[in-house]
Structure 1
Amino acid sequence: MGATAGAVWGRTEQQDFRSRVRGTLLGAAVGDALGSPVGRLSLEEIREAYGAGGLQDLVPGHGPRGTVSHLTQLTLFSVDGLIRAQVRRDTGAWHPPTDVHRAYRRWIATQKDWGPDERRAEDGWLAREEWLYARRDPARACLLGLGDTTMGTLDAPKNPAERGVEAAARSAPFGLLVGWEPQLVVQLAVECATQTHGHPTAYLAAGAYAVIVHGLARGESLDAAVQRALALLAARPGHEPVAEALRRALGAVRQGVPTPGRVEDLAGDGTAETLVSVAVYCALVGEDTRHGLRLAVNHGGASAATGALTGGLLGALHGETALPPAWLTELEGRPTMLVLADDFAMEMTQGPALHTPAHSAPGWLARYPRA
């Protein structure tokens, strides 16, 4: 597994990339926070609680307005793992799935411990963020898959019957590896998904979602990014349900005014591929980011996941300035997300200046240890 040679980043390109990274992380988190409070309600119950138009604004869920779920927690640790992988590349011990798995194991500690262990300097700074030490309905597949030190792989996946969406919903960061070839982005997302979700539809949905984000982060249209995902999926065994779900999403765009009923039809039984298709549909038909996110969460299904998936797409497509400012101001953990996003953008654009044998920044290595 490898990446394309380092590109020369001009100031404008760096600023655009940072905006898309911020947009992806913040958009996924806002969508998660918007959808989490209604994730167990039917569409009828949502309308009874919030009016005929359904949920229109952030409401209390796991805690105050703007509180996120485990989906956002894991997405942040995906980013942490990718940065650590790049830092470790200089040592010759470069295997991104292993570094991402170690990051997910640090997330597991946040679900078990009362707070960070300051003595474990090798954990880096993200694992010392106290607000992350909260259980927010973590999926059983994630707890089981990451509950021991054995890493799931394509040859020996964890939870081989698990078709849930959680692996896809934490996979947007893989798409932000804009210097990588698309097929390598798919491969990395797939390998990391098998650490918790071993059914082909689940891990291929994660790969498809990641490479769609990848296209958007590189400036492609959403339709073009989906077409690329379909082409890359075609050679992979078991891809048919994922490809069919994506084609249904594209077809639904041409069926008239978007409705919650159409979203529920796409969502089907709530497996990974159908919920990714909901996100693609909502991102395509939304009049703006706010409308797309509202459409994504007002249905009787996994609203946190569809909100997060849709927000990730819209953030990658438009950048952080397209996200609703009023929602961002109430978003739990927003300062952490901004720092992590900027660190990711810094590592991907200026990594050689931070940790090569010729240029070593001790502060950076303290934040992202090679251990």
Structure 2
Amino acid sequence: MSEEVATMTAVWGRAQQQDFRSRVRGCLLGGAVGDALGAGIEFDSLEAIRQAYGAEGVTDYVPAFGRRGAITDDTQMTLFTAEGLIRAQVRRDSGAWHPPTDVHRAYLRWAATQSDWGPDERRKDTGWLAREEWLYSRRAPGRACLAGLGDDRMGTVDQPKNPNSKGCGTVMRSAPFGLLVGWEPQLVFQLAIECAAQTHGHATGMLAAGAFAVIIHALARGEALDHAVQQSLAVLGSRPGHEETTDALRRALGAVRQGLPTANRVEALGEGWTADEALAIAVYCALVAEDVRHGLLLAVNHSGDSDSTGSVCGNLLGVQHGETALPPAWVAELEGRGTILQIADDFAMEMTQAPALHGPAGASSAWLERYPNA
């Protein structure tokens, strides 16, 4: 990946910076809210959900992992994706430029939170996110993610980890790649694929992650969602093995034209356990959403992987409309809200004001302590 073609070239005005920060916050908070809405019903059928919560299904947070508003591994890994991308930008000052490696190291830090009792305070190179004690909790992590990160070898597109896996664990963590708005869509697509290969090697698992990143990228630039989906289809079409992902997105677009949105229309797109199905469900729900609340509830009330489809839908709606469109009561009760806001604001600041934080002319010691370039 060429450093020159991936470098931010835009000059950011204050209004642009504020809009971008709102979209980044909306993307990460929205994904976490959708994740938390689905966390308590992830393995339940639609019938069981309606029996437990009424004909409309869940309409608010329900307890999961001992509390309301609890997030799952989807939000955990998304936060580490964002942190890895920030550290990749910082490490360019040292002459090192290989974002997949930095994201992989971030994922290894996430994997440690799934097995260690808490942060290792002796390690000063881990950065601040890995020292957040509340993240040291297993929240139904995917087997492919754990297996892919079970050793230090980084999977690549040519030699991926878990070559037969196409689970949604690639899509649910890939929104931050799309927030690299200074990059070209094809590069965003490629980076998401390369990082998906670190845990899921099936073409559908990788390509769905890339397609999702391209959709987020277009939305972050202010494009309409239907145009963003068409752009992702265009990028997908040239890649071997794209058929499942392409078909899933086209079925999502077709479902929009079939009438009023219902849980049955969502279930016709699948259950969301695979990457293509999770992406299709989330895209459909975001396209037909009357507002963020309506879209998220539609995305989680179905038989299947409710937290992942809710998370991906929340990423889409959040980046499209910004943080102020999110239901305030859900944001207020969200687990880890402070951490999510901090990583979002740091991401936005790094992408828009990096020269003021680090570079040949000098660096902020506080920033390098948060995001070590070692």
TM-score, normalised relative to structure 1: 0.99
Match of 2:176 in 1: 173
Q: Of 47, 51, 57, which aligns to 1:54?
A: 57
TM alignment of 1:28-39, pairs within 5 A:
28-39=31-42
State the alpha-carbon separation in 1 of the partners of residues 328 and 8 from structure 2. 36
Match of 2:156 in 1: 153
Match of 2:82 in 1: 79
Q: What are the Cα deviations for residues 142-197 of structure 1, in whole angstroms up to 9, with x where unaligned?
A: 11000100000000000011010011100000000000000000000000000001
State the alpha-carbon separation in 2 of the partners of residues 19 and 274 from structure 1. 28
1:201 aligns with 2:204: yes
CA, structure 1 residues 18+269, in 2 after alignment: closer, same or farther (shift >3 Å)?
A: closer
TM alignment of 1:72-111, pairs within 5 A:
72-111=75-114
Match of 1:288 in 2: 291
Q: What letter matches 1:291 in structure 2?
A: H
Q: What are the Cα deviations for residues 93-140 of structure 1, in whole angstroms up to 9, with x where unaligned?
A: 110000000000001111111111111010000000000000011111
State the alpha-carbon separation in 1 of the partners of residues 309 and 169 from structure 2. 10
State the alpha-carbon separation in 2 of the partners of residues 181 and 146 from structure 1. 28
Tell me how large the CA RMSD over aligned residues is.
0.8
State the alpha-carbon separation in 1 of the partners of residues 186 and 55 from structure 2. 43
Q: CA deviation at 1:92?
A: 1.3
Name the SS of the counterpart of 1:256 in structure 2: coil
TM alignment of 1:1-371, pairs within 5 A:
1=1, 2-267=5-270, 270-371=273-374
State the alpha-carbon separation in 2 of the partners of residues 19 and 197 from structure 1. 31
Q: What letter matches 2:239 in structure 1?
A: R
State the alpha-carbon separation in 1 of the partners of residues 202 and 293 from structure 2. 33
Q: CA deviation at 1:334?
A: 0.3
Q: CA deviation at 1:359?
A: 2.6
8 Å contact 1:4–1:181 — kept in the other structure?
no
Q: What letter matches 2:107 in structure 1?
A: Y
**Aligned sequence identity (%):** 69
Name the SS of the counterpart of 1:166 in structure 2: coil
Name the SS of the counterpart of 2:268 in structure 1: helix
8 Å contact 2:272–2:306 — kept in the other structure?
no
8 Å contact 2:271–2:305 — kept in the other structure?
no
State the alpha-carbon separation in 2 of the partners of residues 239 and 188 from structure 1. 16
Q: CA deviation at 1:269?
A: 7.0
8 Å contact 2:193–2:209 — kept in the other structure?
yes
Q: Which runs of 4+ in 1 moved over 3 A?
A: none
State the alpha-carbon separation in 1 of the partners of residues 7 and 234 from structure 2. 20
8 Å contact 1:124–1:366 — kept in the other structure?
yes
Q: CA deviation at 1:63?
A: 2.1
Q: What are the Cα deviations for residues 302-329 of structure 1, in whole angstroms up to 9, with x where unaligned?
A: 0000000000000010000011100011
Name the SS of the counterpart of 1:351 in structure 2: helix
Which residues of structure 1 form unaligned runs of 5+?
none
8 Å contact 2:215–2:229 — kept in the other structure?
yes
State the alpha-carbon separation in 2 of the partners of residues 368 and 337 from structure 1. 16
State the alpha-carbon separation in 2 of the partners of residues 163 and 36 from structure 1. 21
Q: What letter matches 1:317 in structure 2?
A: Q
8 Å contact 2:114–2:137 — kept in the other structure?
yes
Q: What letter matches 2:50 in structure 1?
A: R
State the alpha-carbon separation in 2 of the partners of residues 109 and 4 from structure 1. 31
Which residues of structure 2 form unaligned runs of 5+?
none
CA, structure 1 residues 338+268, in 2 after alignment: closer, same or farther (shift >3 Å)?
A: closer
